[in-house]
Amino acid sequence: MKKEKLIFIYPSLLTFIKTEIYILSDNFDLISINQKWSNKFLLPLNFVVQFFFLLFNLHKVNSILISFGGYSSFLPALLGNIFGKKVVIVVHGTDCVSFPEINYGNLRNPLMKFFTQKSYQLASLILPVSKSLVYTENSYFSSNILKFGYTHHLSNINTPHKVIHNGININYWQRDTLIDRDKNSFITALGKNQTIIKGVDLIVQVANNFPDYNFYIAGVDKINISNIPKNIFLVGRLSADDLKKLYSKTQFYLQLSNSEGFGVALCEAMLCECIPIVSNVNFLPNIIGDAGFVLNSRDPLILTELIRNLANSNISELEKKSRLRITENFTTQMRKEKLIKELKS
């Protein structure tokens, strides 16, 4: 049976975009173009190239799927709307946030904000990966209540939305039981320039209080923080296989983000039976349920006390709960079924 064609637009070929392609490929013949939208100097050229790409391919499809709102979503949403195509935008995090206190969020940029707002207005459906991307508020970062979400930052967004959580490959992400687990070891994963957004500065402060504990930071080999304690190890960017080995070695996963759209790395670590410790931000407490611990305030003293009390926990039970929490709620199969249903309805 011939597959239905689908235009799939994304700003760059990130790891979870590859997962999305894997999820969609069984049901759709994907038509995509890999452009570097993060390079602002290529922006005019990208618009021109994308325009002709869409002009050539729009007649082949009934629907357009767009990952992330921003520059790359505008023309597909506009032309899709003009030519009567179903336009579905998946929103992930930074495309729903303006957080000037930590210099984070695409919606801080007036031009990016304009293109994002117009895209969301023109879309047929918005699919956030968590409900917090529509609207959320918290007082984790400061005593003031901070508000986030595209309905807060953008006006006149009347497009219907439906939450479809990210899906994680539970067959790949599992603990290697041949690797001995280090007691009192912690890991967090981040990308370039994410030191503050992921709360690494807080981890550095607290690590000084636990000289016999090991703290691993994956994804970078340097951070813009001075006087890093000797028990913090910057392991750099790792392959998926090497990251899985490190998850298998460490006991706890720290996701102390100041803002987080979902938390894919958190889920991967939990599948490897790392016990999660998360900030009380956005959807993170919903992900871990009763399988881990929530830091309610960005306070090194509170975090220090939390870590000291970990010894009183049932570690083996929490390890099992961590994996079970993800396998029961956030699998690629679950996302696939819901995403295909929305695209074909």
CATH number at residue 217: 3.40.50.2000
**61, 83 Cβ separation under 8 angstroms:** no
How far, in Å, CA of 251 to CA of 276, rounded? 9
Q: At what angle do helices 300-308 and 200-207 cross, to 10 degrees?
A: 60
For residue 66, name the pLDDT band (cuts at 50, 70, 90): very high
Mark whether 32 and 157 lie in a shared domain.
Answer: yes
What's the rounded Cα separation, in Å, for the pair 338 and 38?
29
Residues 48 and 63 in one domain: yes
In angstroms, the CA 32 to CA 275 distance is 38
Residue 78, amino acid = L
Distance CA(59)–CA(62), nearest Å, equals 8
Please list, residue by residue across 172-198, b when 16 or more beta carbons sit within 10 angstroms of its beta carbon and e when fewer do: ebbbeeeeebeeebbbbbbeeebbbbb
pLDDT at 139 over 80: yes
- My answer on whether 189 and 91 are in the same domain is no
In a domain, 180, yes or no: no
Q: CA-CA distance, 271 to 324, in Å (whole number)?
A: 8
Q: How far apart, in whole angstroms, are the C-alpha atoms of residue 60 and residue 211? A: 61
Whether residue 1 is predicted with pLDDT greater than 80 in this model: the reply is: no
pTM greater than 0.85: yes
Q: Are residues 44 and 123 in the same domain?
A: yes
Q: Average pLDDT in the 137-147 region?
A: 91
Q: Degrees (nearest 5) of the Cα angle 316, 205, 106?
A: 90
How far is Cα 330 from Cα 326, in angstroms, rounded to an integer? Answer: 5
The predicted structure's pLDDT at residue 82: 96
Structure tokens at 215: 């703290």
Confidence of residue 2 (pLDDT cuts 50, 70, 90): confident
On whether residue 239 sits in a domain, the answer given is yes
| Whether residue 250 sits in one domain with residue 137 | no
Domains identified in the chain, total number: 2
Does 337 lie in the same domain as 307?
no
Task: Give me the mean pLDDT over the 196-210 stretch.
Answer: 94
Q: What is the mean pLDDT of residues 109-133?
A: 97
Q: Are residues 159 and 229 in the same domain?
A: no
How confident is residue 236, by pLDDT bands cut at 50, 70 and 90? Answer: very high
Residues 63 and 117 in one domain: yes
What confidence score (pLDDT) does residue 162 get?
Answer: 97
Packed helices 15-25 and 332-344: angle between N→C axes, nearest 10 degrees: 60
Query: What is the arithmetic mean of pLDDT over 84-109?
Result: 95
Predicted confidence (pLDDT) per residue in 275-333, tens digit: 999 999 999 999 999 999 999 999 999 999 999 999 889 999 999 999 999 999 999 99
Average pLDDT over residues 168-182: 95
Say if residue 119 is in the same domain as residue 196: no
Residue 157 shares a structural domain with residue 190: no
3-state SS class at 232: strand
Residue 173 counted as domain residue:
no
Same domain flag for 298 and 222: yes
Instruction: Give the pLDDT of residue 189.
Output: 95
Pair 25, 131 in one domain: yes
- The pLDDT, as a whole number, for residue 38 is 86
Structural domain boundaries enclosing 266: 185-329
Rg (CA), the chain: 21
pLDDT tens-digit map of 319-344? 999 999 999 999 999 999 999 999 99
**Mean of the pLDDT values across residues 93-117?**
95
What pLDDT sits at residue 93? 92
Confidence of residue 13 (pLDDT cuts 50, 70, 90): confident
Phi, psi dihedral angles at 18 (to 5 degrees): -65, -40
318 found inside a domain: yes
